[in-house]
Chain A
Amino acid sequence: KAGVTQTPRYLIKTRGQQVTLSCSPISGHRSVSWYQQTPGQGLQFLFEYFSETQRNKGNFPGRFSGRQFSNSRSEMNVSTLELGDSALYLCASSLGGIDSTDTQYFGPGTRLTVL
């Protein structure tokens, strides 16, 4: 079974630009979650999509948005990029049931650098 894939793997942008990141979940997984990882900050939850609907949202500004398509693939968009948005963006897929053991399977991440 293929794992979670993310594209692109690396991205360099300048302040003020916008960026779109893509995530393809494991086949059969209906939930996709996005996380921002910076040194010393761990993984900060951005949002979760389940069956094309945003089911949960973290404490990030409205510049961060996402969507999920009918095939469960998901995209994350960041508008008006700031230097502080430089981070590793990870997506994780899961079956998505309201289940305490709903294990997250992470993709390799997209390394975004904002200059």
Chain B
Amino acid sequence: GQSLEQPSEVTAVEGAIVQINCTYQTSGFYGLSWYQQHDGGAPTFLSYNGLDGLEETGRFSSFLSRSDSYGYLLLQELQMKDSASYFCAVRGFNDYKLSFGAGTTVTVRA
């Protein structure tokens, strides 16, 4: 099975950079995904790392290191609208289930 850990909360000011780490224990997975969920809203897909390394999408970047069982989501030039919960997720090779971490609540302050 898969077990993913991420910090529960992060607070930062507008314009700052935030890194949300995701460490995992898994028997094998396809890749690491990140989803964003605003309060009262539906989760939406942010990014995917199938291979080790950095993927950049605008102000957001995501990184994966399979050898370290670790990934992160980097939020740059934080804006108030980035206040949300962020979930990492992996899909296992064997069971093909998508397993999510418990989520990190990011609060952006003025």
Residues of A that sit less than 8 Å from B by CB: 4, 33, 35, 40-45, 48, 55-56, 58, 90, 92, 98, 100-109
How would residues 25 to 52 of chain B score, 1 for a CB under 8 Å from any chain A CB and 0 otherwise?
A: 0000011010100000111110010100
Contacts of A105 in B (CB 8 A): 45
Extra 11 A-B pairs, beta carbons < 8 Å, given A105-B45, A109-B42: A4-B42, A35-B100, A42-B100, A43-B43, A48-B97, A56-B96, A100-B30, A100-B31, A101-B50, A106-B42, A108-B42
**Can you identify 15 A-B contacts, CB atoms within 8 angstroms?**
A33-B98, A41-B102, A42-B100, A42-B101, A42-B103, A43-B87, A43-B89, A45-B99, A56-B95, A98-B96, A100-B48, A100-B91, A101-B31, A101-B48, A104-B98
Q: How far is the CA of A17 from the CA of B25 in the complex (A)?
A: 38
Q: Total interface residues on B, using CB and 8 Å?
A: 24
Q: How far is the CA of A40 from the CA of B43 in the complex (A)?
A: 15
